[in-house]
Amino acid sequence: MNKSASDTIAAIGTKPGEAAIGIIRLSGNKSVKLTEKIFRQKNRKKISQMKTFSMTYGYIVDKKEEMIDEVIITLMKKPKSYTKEDVVEINCHGGMAAADKILELCIKNGARIAEPGEFTKRAFLNGRIDLSQAEAVIDLIRSKTEQSLKVAANNIKGIVKDRIEELRKRILDVLVELEASIDFIEEDLEVTPYEVLEKNVIEIQKSIDELINDEKRGEIIKNGIKVAIVGKPNVGKSSLLNVLARKERAIVTHIPGTTRDAVEEILYIEGIPLIIADTAGIRKSKNIIEKIGVKKSFEYISKSELVILVMDGNTQIDDNDCEIVEELQGKNIIICLNKIDLKQITSKKEINKKFKLNDIIEISAKKNIGIDKLEKKIKTLVLGEEEFNIESKIIVNNRQKNILLDASGMLKHAIKAMKLKMSEEFPSSDLKLAYNLLGEITGQTTTNEILDGIFGKFCVGK
């Protein structure tokens, strides 16, 4: 029985490197017996006689009864443990040597090295956590930004699951009414009026759309958005990038760009991570090297979700400006009219009139004028007008969002049918699909619940 769920797994739970303690975690039927083989305690009390969630102090020894390290053992008996199996944690001294040696002893005595995420997988398979929580653990481990860590931590608590279950319950309540009036037509039931049910479905659909929108905004906060600073040469693109970066003093990483000459930086503006690149200046040129730079600039623009177009207020709008604006069709654009500390040759009004673009901010990158305004503008463009506090929101992952999109579509279809006063079987068909779809988020889908609902709610006979 290779790698089945019944064997005992072990892994070092702490990060390699210098630290005060190291933890080896064991889970499975044999974890207690196995630990007893390698653990020596002064009062000779057995681990199996310990109370769950208690600790004991002693030594880990090897085959020759030589001491490896002094340790503290924590016992969590099944089913009240992370994996719902017997879990033992051995707290040893930090540094990898001791932990490695203890792990090796565990393996020699019958444990197997856990695969990445296997403790969580067991928690899921043994029914302690649902799919959305298991996904959150994986997200947590993979989190790179502080924000995504917060989201993952929230989701481990089961807030996605709770929310989805609440939504399913609301759909089920409507389904129960619809189904009861089909199957128990002769039963004199006090069924909720159709108009009220329609309102309920509209509300449910709104709640789902909210989750979808929050996901979009959450995604931005978690992973940032790509921003390109573009413009013809010498309009002040680099100065703008510098002033944005300097002000925040929050350059987190330097990621080598996909192009050799566009270097991406992550900087936080109003809490939003912007993956920002200063592109080569765009103009018509015969110089081959410059041509390559321009081409790359356009490639970068096509990948970015927000474009900051810098124009020089001290010069006239020219063909190059016009061409760039043309290239930016369909993009989210903020125009920075730079160099307002100098003589104004091109005005905000003029740009507005010529390009029919509204988001124009007057700045001076050099003198640090108007930068606050620009940052506010970026925030409202990216996240919308209202305040968005990621910690108070439920942020689903991409898989979950796609399911929600499908479910929302189904509900819209149901609402349409109800508006047309089509009979119960029509919206019911849509709602059942939506109900089952939401079940895919938490990993469970079943139909018996509708009938149980009917019998719980209505008084029906033969």
Return residues touching other proteins (CB under 8 A). 1, 3-6, 121, 125-127, 131, 179, 182-188, 190, 420, 422-426, 429, 432-433, 440, 443-445, 447-448, 450-451, 454-455, 459-462
Min dist CB 75 to other proteins, Å, is 22
Reading the block at residue 461, the tokens are 């006979």
Nearer to other proteins by C-beta: 179 or 219?
Answer: 179
Helix (H) / strand (E) containing 277: strand 272-278
Rounded-to-10 torsion of CA 233, 235, 240, 241: -10
d(CA 232, CA 283): 6
Reading the block at residue 393, the tokens are 């929101």
User: Could you give the C-alpha distances from 36 to 74, 108, 109, 114, 442, in angstroms and in order?
Assistant: 12, 14, 10, 20, 38
Min dist CB 420 to other proteins, Å, is 8
Nearer to other proteins by C-beta: 107 or 459?
Answer: 459
Nearer to other proteins by C-beta: 124 or 388?
Answer: 124
Min dist CB 155 to other proteins, Å, is 18
Q: What is the DSSP letter of 7?
A: S
Min dist CB 413 to other proteins, Å, is 9
Min dist CB 112 to other proteins, Å, is 13
Nearer to other proteins by C-beta: 193 or 461?
Answer: 461
Min dist CB 103 to other proteins, Å, is 23
Reading the block at residue 95, the tokens are 């540094």
d(CA 395, CA 292): 40
Nearer to other proteins by C-beta: 180 or 335?
Answer: 180
Helix (H) / strand (E) containing 337: strand 333-338
Min dist CB 455 to other proteins, Å, is 4
Min dist CB 269 to other proteins, Å, is 41
Nearer to other proteins by C-beta: 154 or 442?
Answer: 442
Nearer to other proteins by C-beta: 66 or 186?
Answer: 186
Task: Compute the C-alpha angle 328/331/335, nearest 5°.
Answer: 70
Q: Which residues contact 326 (CB under 8 A, 6 or more apart)?
A: none
d(CA 230, CA 232): 7
Rounded-to-10 torsion of CA 330, 336, 337, 339: -150
Q: Using an 8 Å Cβ cutoff, are 344 and 370 in contact?
A: no
Nearer to other proteins by C-beta: 10 or 131?
Answer: 131
